[in-house]
Amino acid sequence: MAEGAPSALYSCVGRHITVKLWYGRRMSIPDLNLLRTLDVLLAEGSVARAARRLRLSPSAMSRALTRLRTTMGDPLLVRAGRGLVPTPRAVELRERVSHVVQEGQAVLRPVEKLDLTQLVRTFTVRTSEGFVENFGPDLIARVGKEAPGVRLHFVQKANKDSAPLRDGTVDLETGVVEKTTAQELRVQALFRDRLIGVVRMGHPLTKGKITPSRYALGRHISVSRQGLEKGPIEDALQRLGMERDVVTIVGGFATAIALARASDLIATVPERHTGILRAGMHSFSLPVSTPEFTVSLLWHPRLDADLAHRWVRGHVRQICAAIP
């Protein structure tokens, strides 16, 4: 034993391990079963409902809450009228505790063997407009070949709210990770992308060098789910003392490309995200500098260890890597 290191006596007391150090202080390791109780209490916000869910008596659940309060040094749930409301500390811990419990359950769960031929399940995938058109056909074909009973339900991404992943209404999501993205979500990069211009064949921009001024003087389609009038294109042009003439704002890339195909309007869209949509049109590199970005796959940690979910995630990654 190193000089000055405290000697210790270890003893099991009930469901706790107590370490008594030489200087007389005692350190107690809490009962980890309390994590499950805390998870249910924070999820239900009610002692009675939590007791029913865990098949305990209300008095036993009240005693467990008392132990949690003592252990954590926080009331966790406080009376408000006829109900209970969480303290700021409880709100802060809710997602973290849920994740820890789920990870623990995954560790203790017996190893399963996934039989894809017998798998019957629907996976809901939320994506921006253009992703399904570009990557969907190959993804559906691969999934259907291995697991005929699996259905992919694609839904449009109207906003960046992480609630659908948290509440389980969405299994997977694709998009650019931003500051507003929920911190607990799992994220895996799919591909790098950049903005390019696209016009119909025969458009004046199909001939000659495309300069910043030629690009800016055209009539443009802006893509914004929120209807925003400013974006990275405006920022890049402003640095050159220019601005573009935006004549319409649409909510998706497919809509922008369809408009450009049938008119002299210029659409600016992600290159890899819209490859198939731009077939038969003229695409060009922008004459101004805009940042590249990473399109990622996102999911909630409760599905991290799910074998079927892992299988679907693998196919999404493979398809995105295979299509240029």
Sorting pLDDT into bands at 50, 70 and 90, what band is 3? very low
Question: Can you tell me the mean pLDDT for 291-307?
Answer: 92
pTM listed for this prediction: 0.64
Read off the CATH number of the domain in which 66 is found.
Answer: 1.10.10.10
pLDDT digits (tens, 9 = 90+) for 125-171: 999 888 999 999 999 999 999 999 999 999 988 787 888 888 889 99
Give the model's pLDDT for residue 250.
Answer: 92
State which of 108, 129, 148 marks the end of a domain.
108
pLDDT score of 1 more than 60? no
Higher pLDDT, residue 272 or 228: 272
Region 195-224: what's the mean pLDDT? 95
pLDDT number for residue 130: 85
Q: Does any domain span residue 133?
A: yes
* Interval 291-308 mean pLDDT: 92
- Of 108, 126, 157, the position where a domain reaches its end is 108
112 vs 310, higher pLDDT: 310
The chain-wide mean pLDDT, for the chain, equals 85
Q: What is the pLDDT of residue 256?
A: 95
Condensed to tens digits (0 to 9), the pLDDT of residues 6-49 reads 434 333 444 444 444 334 445 456 677 788 888 888 888 888 88
Does residue 182 lie within any of the structural domains?
A: yes
Give a yes or no: residue 144 inside a domain: yes
Residue whose C-alpha is closest to residue 16's, from 2, 4, 33:
33
| 223 assigned to some structural domain | yes
Q: Is the pLDDT of residue 209 over 90?
A: yes
Query: What is the residue type of 120?
Result: V
**One domain, residues 250 and 238:** yes
Whether residue 283 lies inside any domain: the answer is yes
Binned at pLDDT 50, 70 and 90, residue 286 comes out as: very high
Task: Please answer whether residues 167 and 161 qualify as being in contact, where contact means their C-beta atoms are separated by less than 8 angstroms.
Answer: no
Shared-domain flag, residues 5 and 23: yes
CATH number at residue 159: 3.40.190.10
In this prediction, residues 117-121 reach a mean pLDDT of 93
310 and 274 in a single domain? The answer is no
Q: Which domain covers residue 58, as residue numbers?
A: 32-108
Domain count, the chain: 4
pLDDT at 70: 87
Over residues 101-113, the mean pLDDT reads: 72
Q: Is pLDDT above 50 for 2? A: no
Residues 173 and 200 in one domain: no
pLDDT at 95 over 70: yes
- Asked if residue 224 belongs to a domain, the reply is yes
User: Among the three residues 48, 74, 108, which one is the final residue of a domain in this structure?
Assistant: 108
From the CB of residue 49, how many other CB atoms can be counted at a distance below 10 Å? 15
284 domain residue, yes or no: yes
Least-confidence region, from 49-63, 203-217, 246-260, 261-275:
49-63
In a domain, 113, yes or no: no
Do 122 and 150 lie in one domain? The reply is yes
Instruction: Indicate whether 268 and 306 sit together in one domain.
Output: no
Average pLDDT in the 186-214 region?
95
